[in-house]
Amino acid sequence: MRYSQLLLPTLKENPAEAEVVSHRLLLRAGFIRKLTSGVYSYLPLGLAAIRKVEQIVREEMNRAGAQELLLPVVQPADLWKESGRWEKYGPELLRFKDRHNRESCLGPTHEEVITDLVRMNVHSYRSLPLNLYQIQTKFRDEIRPRFGLMRGREFIMKDGYSFDIDEDGANVTYRKMYDAYHRIFSRCGLSFRAVEADTGTIGGSFSHEFMVLAETGEDTLAICKSDDDKCGYAANLEKAAGAAPQPAEPEVEMLPLEKVETPGKRKVVAVTAFLDISPKQLVKTMVYLADGKPLAVLVRGDHEVQEVKLKNMLGAVDVELADDKQIFDATGVPSGYLGPVGIRIPVVADREIAVMRNFVVGGGEKNYHLLNANLGRDFEVEQIGDLREVTAGDHCPRCSGELEFTKGIEVGHIFKLGTAYSEALNATCLDGKGREKHFVMGCYGIGVSRTVAAAIEQNHDKDGIIFPMPITPFKVVVLNLSPDDKEITSAAEQVYNGLREQGIEVLLDDRDERPGIKFKDVDLIGIPYRVTVGKGFAKDGTVEVRERRHGRTETMPLAEAAAFLLERIDREMATLNG
RNA sequence: CGGGGCGUAGCGCAGCCUGGUUAGCGCGCCUGCCUUGGGAGCAGGAGGUCGGAGGUUCGAAUCCUCUCGCCCCGACCA
């Protein structure tokens, strides 16, 4: 490709709308342009990078035995009503009516459509396992789209769905996908980690997220840092559990409940300072609205409620923290003094509370707290479970190691769905004994456009993008520094053509621009290798080959450049494909 | 939806508080000269419903009301 013919509108300055680095660089490097909030046009280079990721995904999915197909974007409401998600999915599902007033939606995910397709066409266990995937534009009307391609409303996703006759088969398929995902992100040249995750709106029993490690990640990961990674426990903070709390030994005796005046002390820090105790000796009473109904949640003073865990325990669609007025309306107690003793709304407790003795709680009236409260003696709760967020210093649930935290970008998510969808849509086939069975399903997503953004988050410097070799739009750029000079131009063309003949994707910068502009532009767009044909060639017939990532530069005769690059590129690709 | 901020040329911004003739600056773009190994220089030029509607006023980018859009923090998620 010749730069002079390419739509590649680079920007010198950072667009005001872009905050995170991948967003800034994607805009500056002329890869994307925004149409409206969360909706982007992919320009030729942006699309080229996406196509690279798609191709790797395709190869690895096919290698793992999956088949590619393409499902409709527009989907009838009836199917979603059948699965129950027309009501459950919420406003993220973009709904509309067609000219006949039929309700429809834009597909945010395709469990319904694929399950319908399979139930209509697969009737025997002999056809299983079946693993189908597509690479397609998805639309989710996100509450808050942001960070360019990181969280768009319209984005490109690979979504795959598997169908097995039984749980064992589904586990084998899940494992295959787990391995395929490792290969995919390795081949993309990314540093990533698979973590245990919450299943979210997709539902199902078990899942892993694939996280690209980057500071700008929206997710927090808890990783066990036991020696040499032996344990390997890693989980999304939404899911991460600490080691189970141990009761004190010997058993601490319960002291008499005592009411104390704590005037104006509402926050944990204020109460504990006033009473001269540690936050670990206090239990806070948080009020949530679970699907609109008030509920008190007890956690230790130094802990925070993990809302996803709470939601899962309650089986609620939505939980949100109540405000002061809602707390007072529901309990008759002003916020800050609410406690579980004598409370008039249901209470659930974090499991830590069960092993605590003689703790401080709100007094149930303004300006009072209670000392020496104890679960079972002074109050009861409806449910006890793991409801808190793990914190630094918590120990791994599997081994004794400490947990540490890091930020990640979710680029892939795999789920064991079980029979949730096949039952809802009554999708069955016959097993070897002629019995009707619901398909045991799995689903497997990769954010293709997000993967490109994540790669940039992880690979850039002050001058621009530094593409990993497998997903770069061009592997080499040839700079013709003197388009007016016949000899230099013909030399640049020679390298360019030589590389093209070898099947290397190469960009020839043949623009009539000053050298500085060319250097800046090609640094910005992040092509791994640059060949400069300029005054060096005029002097002694040499060209300069420079590596984008480390800036290492070598000068060599023109004739050697193509072979040199070919060898380097092959070596790098081989390492990643390893 | 709650909280914060912003809409003036393709991009980045000033002007607005305190209303006053042809609305500015830098970059980019076009023409010419010149220059050619890290975003040069000179000269000339094109490009604007000041997000939109309504109002106040002799007069509105500027003041008021409404509205639309965008960005950031939270709930959502590939």
Question: pLDDT of A499-546, one tens digit each?
Answer: 999 999 999 999 999 999 999 999 999 999 999 999 999 999 999 999
Per-residue flag: A239 CB under 7 A of strand B: no
Determine the Cα–Cα distance for residues A387 and A400; give it in Å rounded to an integer.
Answer: 21
Per-residue flag: A561 CB under 7 A of strand B: no
Residue A510 is predicted with a pLDDT of: 95
pTM, to two decimals: 0.93
Residue A314 is predicted with a pLDDT of: 87
Residue A315 is predicted with a pLDDT of: 82
Q: CA A66 → C1' B6, Å?
A: 47
Q: Is the ipTM, as predicted for this complex, more than 0.90?
A: yes
Of A177, A203, A170, which is closest to residue A439 (Cα–Cα)?
A170
Q: Which residues contact A508 (CB under 8 A, 6 or more apart)?
A: A1, A2, A3, A477, A478, A480, A492, A493, A496
- Range 257-286, chain A: CB under 7 Å to any strand B atom: none
Determine the Cα–Cα distance for residues A361 and A113; give it in Å rounded to an integer.
Answer: 51
Per-residue flag: A449 CB under 7 A of strand B: yes
Cβ A450 vs Cβ A155: under 8 Å? yes
Cβ A468 vs Cβ A189: under 8 Å? yes
Q: CA A321 → C1' B75, Å?
A: 10
Q: Which residues contact A356 (CB under 8 A, 6 or more apart)?
A: A281, A283, A300, A375
Is the peptide bond between A250 and the residue preceding it cis, with omega within 30 degrees of 0?
yes
**Six-digit token string for A514:** 């000053």
Residue A88 is predicted with a pLDDT of: 82
Residue A203 is predicted with a pLDDT of: 57
Of A115, A66, A112, which is closest to residue A429 (Cα–Cα)?
A115
Determine the Cα–Cα distance for residues A313 and A354; give it in Å rounded to an integer.
Answer: 17
- Residues of chain A with pLDDT below 50 are none
Of A383, A405, A385, A379, which is closest to residue A393 (Cα–Cα)?
A405
Residue A46 is predicted with a pLDDT of: 97
Write out the H or E segment, with its range, that includes residue A301. none
Nucleotide nearest the Cα atom of A533 (by C1'): B37
Q: CA A514 → C1' B76, Å?
A: 47
Cβ A488 vs Cβ A534: under 8 Å? yes
Per-residue flag: A502 CB under 7 A of strand B: no
Residue A242 is predicted with a pLDDT of: 87
Determine the Cα–Cα distance for residues A448 and A81; give it in Å rounded to an integer.
Answer: 29
Task: Output the CA–CA distances (angstroms, integers) from residue A253 to A256, A357, A369, in the order listed.
Answer: 10, 8, 20
